[in-house]
Amino acid sequence: MTTLEQLFTAALEVRQKAYAPYSKFAVGAALKGTNGKIYTGCNVENVSFPCGTCAEAGAVASMNADACRLIKEIVIVADSQTLITPCGACLQRLAEFSDSKTKIHLANLKGVQKSCTLTELLPMSFAEKGLKK
């Protein structure tokens, strides 16, 4: 069984692999899918700035590549004075693969500092029902 501590360690480890030569801001994300497996991602920047991808996007892509579609919990870690939350685009990415029980853990290098739900971070996400005309 994976503990929150193990998930945090995985996020910390993948953060070391971040490619962030422009912002110099490394981010790591480790999520546990409902299949019990851990998927990780780090931010990967690009000289054409908008082409860069966030850590969460990498972890979500990796989970999907393993045919898992639901996040049980995710740890996002960065070294920042203020605790970072996923950016707006990543909140929407996480919303696609979360349910009301999915936990989002916000961490600094010392450990998880705050845990919340996606609804708390993104109360009015764009949802599939919005596609209905």
Rounded to whole angstroms, the Cα distance separating 105 from 47 reads: 30
Catalytic choice (5, 56, 96, 128): 56
Q: Tell the smallest beta-carbon distance from residue 33 to ligand THU (Å).
A: 19
3-class secondary structure, 74: strand
Q: Is 83 in the site for ligand THU (CB under 6 A)?
A: no
* 122 is a contact residue toward ligand THU (CB under 6 A): no
- Decide if 54 contacts 92 (C-beta within 8 A): no
Q: Which position among 15, 30, 40, 45 is part of the footprint of ligand THU (CB under 6 A)?
A: 45
Which residues sit at the interface with ligand THU, rule CB under 6 A? 20, 23, 25, 27, 43, 45, 52, 54-56, 76, 84, 86-87, 90
